Each structure stands twice: as structure tokens, then as C-alpha cells.
Structure 1
Amino acid sequence: MDGQLLAGKVALITGAASGIGASTAKLMAHHGARVALADVDLKGVAENAAAIAENGGQALAVEADVRDGQCVAEMVKRTVERFGRLDCCVNNAGIDGSASPLHEYTEENWRDVLEVNLTGVWLCLKHEISYMLEQGVTGSIVNTASAAGLVGLPLGVSGYVASKHGVVGLTRAAALEYVRQGIRVNAICPGAVRTPMLDDAITSGMTTEAELSSMQPIGRLAAPREVAEAAVWLCADASSFVTGQALAVDGGWTVQ
């Protein structure tokens, strides 16, 4: 993508301390957006915000836990106070949880994964959309689901798969509820992406890089920037007729 696709826009990205979120924030800044980076890892988002500023962009680092509605509301408020508006959001924060067969999957693990991956996205939507409606701002929101939100996985991650399917359904419902108010809501569904979370899964023995690469007809893992490019396009005016979609960025995984 060339040019300033997001010039004049303000973007909020959760889970922006590393991986897809960090790459998305930096790419959005490159395309002219002023960006708020939110994460429970304040050090991580502060470092990424500083890197954006060093490259001539404007960035705000916010410590935020998407499981906490009050915290999410404050995250949106701080973004608007700093930059004056909110045009784009990428609700990206997520965890994979501990891997185990479904019958051994603990209630605590289930709750943790659903609380971050699904309730967290719902809370972000709730407060982002509330602001957009109150201020009369049209906008675009992108939720990070997963290829595991479109198909199943035999890797002992039933909570993760359920949560990501939930994100896709939530995206479609929100898109229909707010399309007439000028708010677009879409999801991206990445396949296997080289991120710290995926590295942890490989290190733990949950899976291997070779296994994940073989699932994707393209034959390799994605780089975070390849997913970020999709999020930027969905936030840009170039995708103005696109809403309610679950865009697979998965090297062909889910079309097999």
C-alpha cells in the first residue's frame, strides 16, 4: 500500500505491545493516523509509541485491561482527550490459554480465554460505538478473530476456537446494528502468524512450526505486517462498502 490511507484519522489498537497489534499500530502511523496503543503491558506499548514518535508520528501509550469495562471506557476517553476524535479501532487483544483436551480443559482456563477474547472485544465495541454515536462520528472497527473462528482446530484449544467463532458472530451482529449510523464493523481472521504468542505455543510443545506451515497452502507462517495490511485497508475509506465480513488472512488455510 502506498500513500496516506489514514491521513487525518485517529486509531485505537488493543493488544498493541507486540505481534499483530504492534505491527498494525506502526503501519497505521505510517499511513498518517494518530494512534493510541493499548495493552496490559504498558512497557511494551510505551516502547512502540516511542518508536512511532521517532519516525515522525503521533502516538499515545495506554495501559488497559480489556476485561474491565471501566478500564475500556477510560481507554477510549484518553484517546479522545489526546487526539480529539476516534475514527478507527482494531480490537486485537487476545490470549490462547493453556492447551488440553476438552474433557480436561479447566473452567478457569475457559473463563480466562472467553473473558479476554470475546467479552473483551464486546466491551471495546460497546464503548467505541457509544463514543461514535454520541459524537456523530462515522468510523470503522476491526476485530481480530482467527482462522480458528472459521474452522475447528484439533490442538486442545477449544476455548480459543469458541471465543474466536464468537468474535465473528459478534462482528456480524454489530455490523448490522450500526451500518445505518455509518459505523462499519469487520473481522480479520489470521492463520498462523509469527508472533510471541505463537512462539510460546511452539515452545510449549502444543504444535510445531512445520505443522502450522503445512496447514496453510502457501506453505509458511505469516509475518505480522501481512495481517496489519488487511486491518489498515478495512479501516481506510478504500473499503467503504465493506462491513460485517470475516476476512481470512490465512494463506489459503480455510478454503481447503
Structure 2
Amino acid sequence: MTTTNTTRFTGRTVLVTGAGSGIGRAVALAFAAEGAQVVVAGRRREPLDETVRLIEDRGGKALAVTADVSRAEDAEALVRAAVDLPRSRLRSSGGTPIGSLDVAVNNAGVFRGGQPLADLPEADWREQLDVNVTGVFLALRAEIRRMRTQPSGGAIVNVSSTFGAHTSPAGAAAYSATKAAVTALSRSAAADHIRDGVRINVVSPGATATPMSLRRGETEADRAERARATLPLGRISATEEVAAAVLHLASDAAASTVGTDLVVDGGGSL
């Protein structure tokens, strides 16, 4: 991926949840390409290790930490790990603590749907609430508690969706409800904590080049044809395009942007 500025996050520590694939991996790669030390988090170690390998192969610095953000103790331990693990674990010199959490991107989420609400299993409803809402709340709370103690504060970007606050598609009632909750939670938290030096915003992707945007039985070619016919842009978004929006909101260039919900969907929710 090319970028117009490769130094915006030099010397900063960035935490990305759900970084084992898709948007989360693209976000982690983008921050590393711009100089950040990136802590990548998720429930499964193997895909996190692959994200770290991709970053290190490009000359960046990254560390994988397994965590389930729907558990308060995991969310708190994840923030401690991002702050306290020695730099030597990130293959840099010294051995002093990292010291600060400068940026957090709460991207972890699950989708269980495709059927009408009346046919949705309760277990699927609860899993989406646990990961998509409670997980964001617990991670957000832990991150804010750390950032507000730092002289430089911090920036947080929560990854929501056009589903919920912007569109209401059939077959995604539970997922849409959880993502609408993420947007509302983020805006309220932004108002609560901007005076603490913690700046919180949201990116809401629409159809993006990940498996989640494939309909049942649909191929990537089928998806591309559907996008040409239905999206104003004529295509779905690349994960790198969503990552670019996240990095903008986390950067100093967006220093006065607070509580916004930046939609990246090729005009699909217009």
C-alpha cells in the first residue's frame, strides 16, 4: 500500500483488536507502514502471528497478544500488555517499557445472520452482543482509563458499520442493532472524555473486500458484479481504503474531529 505520509505515527504505540484478518489486518499494516509500533490482538494466535510477520517483512514493528475483549480481564490485560511489554519484544533496542498507549482501534466483531429475526438463534444474538457491543465497551473503558492518565492523551477509533445507524438490511437485525449501539456508545464516550484528552471517533464501512460481504453462495466475481449494479461507486471498498479513514481520524490532522461517524461505503447508504 502506498501512502503520502510515512511518518505520522513514528514513535507511537497503536493497539488494534480483531487484527488477524480483513480490515483489522489492513489497519495494523497501515499504522506500521507509517512508523507505529503495533500491538495486534484477537482470539486466535495463528492469524495474529501472520499479521506480525507481514508487518515485520515490510520493516515494521509489531507484537501479537491473544485476548477476548468480551471479557473485562482480557481487555484490561491487553491494554497493560500494550503499555508494559518491553521494547525488546518488539525487536527494538533497549528493554524499557513502551510507556504509553497512543492510539487504539476497536475493530473486533462478528456477524451471525442471513435469516429473518424470528429465525435467529438466541445464541447468535448473544454472541453478537457480547463481542460487538460489550467487547467494544470493555476495550474502550480500559483504553480510556489508561489514556486519560497520559499527558498526551490518546485517540480511539471504533469500527462500526453502515448497518444500523445508516442502513437496515434484511437478515441482519441483530448485527445492525449491535453496530448502531457501537456508534451511539462512541459518540457518548467522545463527549464524556474529550476534556480528558481522549479523542474518540467512528469509522463505518459498507461492503468491503472481506468474506463478511459475500452473500451465501456468492463468489468474489458475483460480488463485484452486484456492486457494479447497486453501488454508486460501482465497486466495494478495499480494506486499505477503510484503513486510510481510520488513520486519518487517529492522526493529528483530525485533532478537532470528535465523535464523528465517518462512512466509507462507496455511496451505498445514500
Q: TM-score, normalised by structure 1?
A: 0.93
CA deviations on 1:85-133 (whole Å, 9 max, x unpaired) are 1000100001111321012222211111111111111011010001112
Contact 1:141 1:186 in 2 (8 A): yes
Q: Which of these residues, 249, 261, 265, is aligned with residue 234 of structure 1?
A: 249
AA aligned to 1:203 is: G
Q: Which of these residues, 61, 64, 67, is aligned with residue 64 of structure 1?
A: 67
Q: Which of these residues, 160, 184, 187, is aligned with residue 169 of structure 1?
A: 184
Contact 2:113 2:175 in 1 (8 A): no
AA aligned to 2:22 is: G
Q: Which residue in the other structure is 1:87 paired with? A: 102
Contact 1:13 1:37 in 2 (8 A): yes
Please state how far the C-alpha of 1:150 moved relative to its aligned partner: 2.3
Q: How many angstroms apart in 2 are the aligned matches of 1:248 and 1:98? A: 22
Secondary structure of residue in 2 paired with 1:227:
helix
1:54 aligns with 2:57: yes
- Cα RMSD, aligned residues only: 1.6
Q: Which residue in the other structure is 1:183 paired with? A: 198
Match runs of 1:154-165 below 5 Å: 154-165=169-180
Please state how far the C-alpha of 1:197 moved relative to its aligned partner: 2.6
1:138 aligns with 2:153: yes
1:19 aligns with 2:22: yes
Secondary structure of residue in 1 paired with 2:204:
strand
- Show structure 2 runs of 5+ residues with no match: 86-97
Q: Which has the higher helix share?
A: 1
Q: Which of these residues, 55, 72, 77, is aligned with residue 74 of structure 1?
A: 77
Larger relative contact order (CA 8 Å, sep ≥ 6): 1
Structure 1: 4+ residue segments shifted above 6 A: none
Secondary structure of residue in 2 paired with 1:252:
coil
Q: How many angstroms apart in 2 are the aligned matches of 1:164 and 1:87? A: 24
Please state how far the C-alpha of 1:226 moved relative to its aligned partner: 0.5
Q: Which of these residues, 239, 242, 259, is aligned with residue 224 of structure 1?
A: 239
Q: How many angstroms apart in 2 are the aligned matches of 1:159 and 1:213? A: 27
Q: Which residue in the other structure is 2:92 paired with? A: none
CA deviations on 1:39-65 (whole Å, 9 max, x unpaired) are 112111111112212222111101111
Q: Which residue in the other structure is 1:28 paired with? A: 31
**Count, aligned residues:** 252
Contact 1:18 1:196 in 2 (8 A): no
Tell me: CA distance 1:251–1:204, structure 2 relative to 1, closer, same or farther (3 Å). closer
Contact 2:183 2:202 in 1 (8 A): yes
Q: How many angstroms apart in 1 are the aligned matches of 2:269 and 2:73? A: 36
Please state how far the C-alpha of 1:137 moved relative to its aligned partner: 4.1
Q: TM-score, normalised by structure 2?
A: 0.89
- Higher Rg: 2
CA deviations on 1:6-52 (whole Å, 9 max, x unpaired) are 11211000000000000000000001111000011211111111221
Contact 2:167 2:269 in 1 (8 A): no
Q: How many angstroms apart in 1 are the aligned matches of 2:134 and 2:76? A: 14
Q: Which of these residues, 25, 40, 44, is aligned with residue 41 of structure 1?
A: 44
CA deviations on 1:110-163 (whole Å, 9 max, x unpaired) are 111111111111011010001112344411100000011322333311000000
Please state how far the C-alpha of 1:230 moved relative to its aligned partner: 0.4
Q: How many angstroms apart in 2 are the aligned matches of 1:202 and 1:88? A: 35
Q: Which of these residues, 157, 164, 169, is aligned with residue 149 of structure 1?
A: 164
Please state how far the C-alpha of 1:196 moved relative to its aligned partner: 2.8
AA aligned to 2:243 is: A
Contact 2:40 2:62 in 1 (8 A): yes
Q: How many angstroms apart in 2 are the aligned matches of 1:56 and 1:117? A: 32
Q: Which residue in the other structure is 1:254 paired with? A: 269
Q: How many angstroms apart in 2 are the aligned matches of 1:191 and 1:132? A: 29
Q: Which residue in the other structure is 2:4 paired with? A: 2
Q: Which residue in the other structure is 1:129 paired with? A: 144
Q: How many angstroms apart in 1 are the aligned matches of 2:246 and 2:148? A: 22
AA aligned to 1:40 is: R
- Show structure 1 runs of 5+ residues with no match: none
Secondary structure of residue in 2 paired with 1:176:
helix
